[in-house]
Structure 1
Amino acid sequence: MTHSMTAYAQAVVDTDLGELSCELRSVNHRYLEVAPRMPEELRVYEGDLREAISAKLSRGRVDCFIRLKESQSASLEPNPEAAANLQALLDAVRVDVPSMQAIQAIDVLRWPGILQAKKIDPALMKQHLMSVVNQAVEGLLESRATEGGKMAELIQQRLDGIRQVVTDVAAFVPEIAVNYRARLDEKMADIRDQLDPSRLEQEMVMFLQKTDVAEELDRLVVHIDEVSAVLNKPEPAGRRLDFLMQELNREANTLGSKSQDPRLTKASVDLKVFIEQMREQVQNIE
């Protein structure tokens, strides 16, 4: 199935520290290039992130944005050592000042050092990160497949147009030789008696050799069938399609160089238009 290299996807998971999100944006590129942007405390997992993306994608530049939106309550936890020291201090003061009022819990929490940043469990954080990345990659693949399917339809429409041009050319090519022979006879009518008949036949043979496009038409049909087949294959097809576009364009140029009829010239131009339209789509196929 044809996949586009342009796509977007996002995934979010809730963690003990807050909301962890992964945003993926991909555009066309000759090779696979992963560009992660993530908080420094998660940078240790960059290698795992790259590996997860590379396992599912083969081409395109992929910008990966990892964000951790920490909730204030979830990102802090009590510091047992500081709390114990504070309790010991309060007990000592209470001995000297028995009438001292009890301290409210909110006042305790405001004491410097009582609250500390919650420690991250490395294994759990890696699990959350890989989960959100994999979800985003699956969404990206789905988006790529959807757009790729539409691109394949557009390419198939152009292939149908090229096939019709080839059919039309094959139908009128025999007329070109007949018309040339008629023009040649008309020009030579006054001096025919002075010419060697075999010389006229040689001229016709040379003309037919120069203008014979049967081989080009056959190769065009072969390339059309190959493009259709490649579009339906499950593996990445971008590079193969790009090569086939070059081959189609080469045959269209050869067809134009052999033209001895306005209809053949127009057919060559029409072919190039269809091929260029397909090439624009192919540049974005994985």
Structure 2
Amino acid sequence: MIQSMTGFGKHVVQLPSKKITVELKSLNSKNLDINARIPQTFREKELEFRKMIADVLIRGKVDLSLYVEITGEETTAEVNQGVVRNYMEQLSAIAQGDDLKLLELALRMPDTLKTDKNDIDVEEYKAIKEALDQALSKIIEFRNEEGKVLEKDFVERLANLKALLDKVKSLDLERLASVRERLERAVSDLKVEVDENRFEQELIYYLEKYDITEEKVRLDNHLNYFETTLNSDDSNGKKLGFISQEIGREINTIGSKANYAPMQQVVVQMKDELEKIKEQMLNVL
């Protein structure tokens, strides 16, 4: 079973005076890259939040957003009156205006609010951790659903590659006969005496250089290995990526050895199918 790295999870907790919202969004990435946007009050807990995410999501570019909205009368910020008055005096010296307008301008300036940093409330922190757990569960559900879509596409592409490989196998006998016929015709067009035994030896040597038996066997094995890995219990995105590289190597070798237009056309179709697999592989965990 494979899992996508793309996902979204959100959970909201309502406390008596606060509303806590945790959002998680993930995209594909080679490693785990966590970007946390959390209130300054909870910065000391950021490492714990990161560990909770790393233990579950493993890989991907993850955005964590924590919002704490005060819904009651509680507030941690106060107007810094002395600073505001000083700004208003400076502004009135520069330009004339009524007190309300000057107050509006002054409140936009730095340091007009002062915040008393309180200790983290135990119940509030517990609620945030529970919300993060719920958001992680939801993003895993999202990733699993996306993984099913990817798996369905991989199975289809894999079936197409196996069918194209069967075409290559059926064309191989025609190809060798065609190559032999072209060589014999080219020699006869030279209108020179040729030693038949020597010619036969050179022809066998030439045909052996274009033999793709090993490539066909290895490609068949790689396709089967890809299918087995795809059906394993774990999501092995990196492993599937390595197998895809090996599949591509065998397809390229068959194309370079083909020397036969119908087979080269099939190879182009195989490359197209593999490229679509590689594009989707970037999203697999």
Question: Does the alignment reach a TM-score above 0.5?
Answer: yes
Q: CA deviation at 1:187?
A: 4.3
- The 5-angstrom pairing of residues 105-124 of structure 1 reads 122-124=121-123
Contact 1:10 1:21 in 2 (8 A): yes
Instruction: State the partner residue of 2:65.
Output: 65
Equivalent-residue separation in structure 2 for 1:225 and 1:190 (angstroms): 46
- Bigger Rg over Cα: 1
Residue 30 of structure 1 aligns to a residue whose secondary structure is coil
Q: Is the alpha carbon distance of 1:244 and 1:226 closer, same or farther for their aligned partners in structure 2, counting shifts above 3 Å?
A: same
1:232 aligns with 2:231: yes
Equivalent-residue separation in structure 2 for 1:44 and 1:187 (angstroms): 80
Q: CA deviation at 1:203?
A: 2.5
TM-score (norm 1): 0.80
Q: CA deviation at 1:17?
A: 3.2
Contact 2:16 2:72 in 1 (8 A): no
Q: Is the alpha carbon distance of 1:187 and 1:43 closer, same or farther for their aligned partners in structure 2, counting shifts above 3 Å?
A: closer
AA aligned opposite 2:9: A
1:52 aligns with 2:60: no
Q: Is the alpha carbon distance of 1:40 and 1:191 closer, same or farther for their aligned partners in structure 2, counting shifts above 3 Å?
A: closer
Residue 179 of structure 1 aligns to a residue whose secondary structure is helix
Name stretches of at least 5 consecutive residues in structure 2 with no aligned partner.
77-115
Contact 1:25 1:64 in 2 (8 A): yes
Instruction: State the partner residue of 2:278.
Output: 279
Moved more, 179-188 or 161-170: 179-188
Instruction: State the partner residue of 1:31.
Output: 31
Moved more, 23-32 or 262-271: 262-271
Instruction: State the partner residue of 1:175.
Output: 174
Contact 2:18 2:69 in 1 (8 A): yes
AA aligned opposite 1:24: L
Residue 25 of structure 2 aligns to a residue whose secondary structure is strand
Q: CA deviation at 1:132?
A: 0.2
1:260 aligns with 2:259: yes
Identity of aligned residues (%): 28
AA aligned opposite 2:198: R
Q: Is the alpha carbon distance of 1:191 and 1:144 closer, same or farther for their aligned partners in structure 2, counting shifts above 3 Å?
A: closer
Equivalent-residue separation in structure 1 for 2:195 and 2:143 (angstroms): 68
AA aligned opposite 2:128: L
Instruction: State the partner residue of 1:159.
Output: 158
Q: Is the alpha carbon distance of 1:189 and 1:33 closer, same or farther for their aligned partners in structure 2, counting shifts above 3 Å?
A: closer
Q: CA deviation at 1:6?
A: 0.9
Contact 1:45 1:126 in 2 (8 A): no
Equivalent-residue separation in structure 2 for 1:184 and 1:42 (angstroms): 78
Q: CA deviation at 1:257?
A: 0.8
Equivalent-residue separation in structure 1 for 2:17 and 2:42 (angstroms): 12
Q: Deviations over 1:9-54 (max 9, x none)?
A: 1111112331111011101111011111111112222122111111
Instruction: State the partner residue of 1:92.
Output: none
- The 5-angstrom pairing of residues 89-108 of structure 1 reads none
Residue 55 of structure 1 aligns to a residue whose secondary structure is helix
Instruction: State the partner residue of 1:41.
Output: 41
